[in-house]
Amino acid sequence: MESVLNFPGEHFSRKGGELHLGAVRLADIANKFGTPLYVYDFDRIRERALNVTKAIKSVTNASRAYFAVKALSNLSVLRLAHQQGMGMDVVSGGEIERCLAAKIPARDIIFSGVAKSRSEIELGARAGIGCFNIESPHEIELLSEVATLTGQKLSIALRVNPDVDGHTHRKINTGPSDTKFGLSPDLARAISRRVLSDNKLNLRGISCHIGSQILDMKTFATAAKEMRVFASELLEMGAPLKHIDMGGGIGIAYKPSECGSVPIFDDWVSVSKGALPRPDMDLYLEPGRSIVGDSGLLLTTVLDIKYGEKKNFVLVDAGMTELVRPAMYDAYHHIEPLVHSENLKLQKYDVVGPVCETSCWLGEDVNLGDVKIGDVLAVLSAGAYGMTMASNYNTRPRPAEVAIENKRVRVIKNQEKLAALWADELTLLGD
């Protein structure tokens, strides 16, 4: 008997009580590759990337979605997103190099993020990236110097902080004026005059980003209104604006109860294009989590079970080194056993990892039934900000990554070898 699992989407299913992703039995993947292990449904990623590309092309033909590389930066994922028409949104020189290694044309890259170094700006300029999203007056001076050095005219957009609350977790809320991100409107106006007087710089757009994991479309509408007003001012000043970049931030369902609250791409585009002061201007968006978040999961094996006076604990082989979001943001991830028994007895456990920190946990008060040592659990909606934020704390190698595509399973990153963790270290004492 086959039943469709309603959460987080129809790419998950249970057949005979066993969890499948992309119509592939996850237990087979765990048995073959071991755990901890990241697993991604590439068919789902392709569908999501293609859907946002189609939605934004309804604005203008040159409007484009740029994948937020920080969400999931595996080279195969970048290639897949690009093949569906997405550009790349990067926030470091390392991410520029990653995109180039994935054979992404430099012109399809935009460089966002605070505290860009001169070497990173020079790297982007020499590579020929499409646009720099600027966040400080100092960046303008660096760009002007680099443009003179390289003999190029560089395209830029000013990242404006519209002072809009994204109503999300405070650590991923980037729209209010008391964060490190963006330029105040007054500062952006002053900088725009400086840019317009520099024949080495081309002010082609403005951008903003109000936060991440946003489910309320009203916040995007408010930000769009602020951006439209500011863009109109710049146009009156003679700025040759071609696009408005409304950033990313659209959320996914981490809890079953959130499934009905997740915005669709068409609605996001419809609200965001309210930022355009003219119909011939292009709209840019920077989705990341919404492309890969519910397309991926983390498999982990039960190593031990401890029954305490106040809590019961399931100890697993993945923790904050593999998925730091629960420790960093108190984030919820739905956890499912790969096999559901017919006589499921609900019993609550805290699912905790092996790292020597109290904060090393993956789930609290999780109903797992008659869980046993050796069982494999699936931590759902872990495709975004999972592997990219993984660490080697406690000298733990980062896990492998595998992709499911058209029922075929492929390794897209091998597990790190332990010796690689200290290969670059130097011992100053003798043998």
Q: Are residues 130 and 205 in the same domain?
A: yes
How many angstroms separate the CA atoms of 6 and 15, rounded? 13
Q: How many CB atoms lie within 10 A of CB 184?
A: 13
pLDDT at 166: 47
Q: Which of 287, 315, 334 is the last residue of a domain?
A: 287
Contact 354, 303 (CB under 8 A): yes
Q: Are residues 187 and 144 in the same domain?
A: yes
pLDDT at 182: 75
- With H, G, I as helix, E, B as strand and everything else as coil, classify residue 28: helix
- With H, G, I as helix, E, B as strand and everything else as coil, classify residue 240: coil
Q: Are residues 279 and 307 in the same domain?
A: no
Q: Are residues 275 and 302 in the same domain?
A: no
Q: Are residues 155 and 302 in the same domain?
A: no
Task: Kindly list the averaged pLDDT for each block of 10 residues, start to end, along the chain of length 431.
Answer: 64 92 97 98 98 98 98 98 98 98 98 95 98 94 96 95 58 53 84 93 94 87 92 94 95 92 95 96 97 98 94 97 96 93 75 97 92 96 98 98 98 97 87 63
Q: Are residues 144 and 282 in the same domain?
A: yes
Which residues are known catalytic residues?
356
CATH of the domain at 123: 3.20.20.10
pLDDT at 4: 42
Q: Which of 237, 263, 287 is the last residue of a domain?
A: 287
Q: Are residues 283 and 301 in the same domain?
A: no
Q: Which of 224, 256, 287 is the last residue of a domain?
A: 287
How many angstroms separate the CA atoms of 159 and 146, rounded? 20
Evaluate whether residue 246 is within a structural domain.
yes
CATH of the domain at 315: 2.40.37.10
Structural domain including 309 reads 2-41+293-421
pLDDT at 268: 96
Q: Are residues 340 and 255 in the same domain?
A: no
Q: Are residues 116 and 150 in the same domain?
A: yes
pLDDT at 171: 42
Evaluate whether residue 200 is within a structural domain.
yes
Q: Are residues 141 and 250 in the same domain?
A: yes
Q: Are residues 266 and 330 in the same domain?
A: no
Residue with tokens 């930022």: 275
Q: Are residues 132 and 15 in the same domain?
A: no
Q: What is the DSSP letter of 197?
A: T
Q: In the chain, how many domains are there?
A: 2
pLDDT at 362: 98
Evaluate whether residue 393 is within a structural domain.
yes
Tell me the residue ranges of DSSP E strands in 103-219. Answer: 109-111, 131-134, 154-159, 201-207
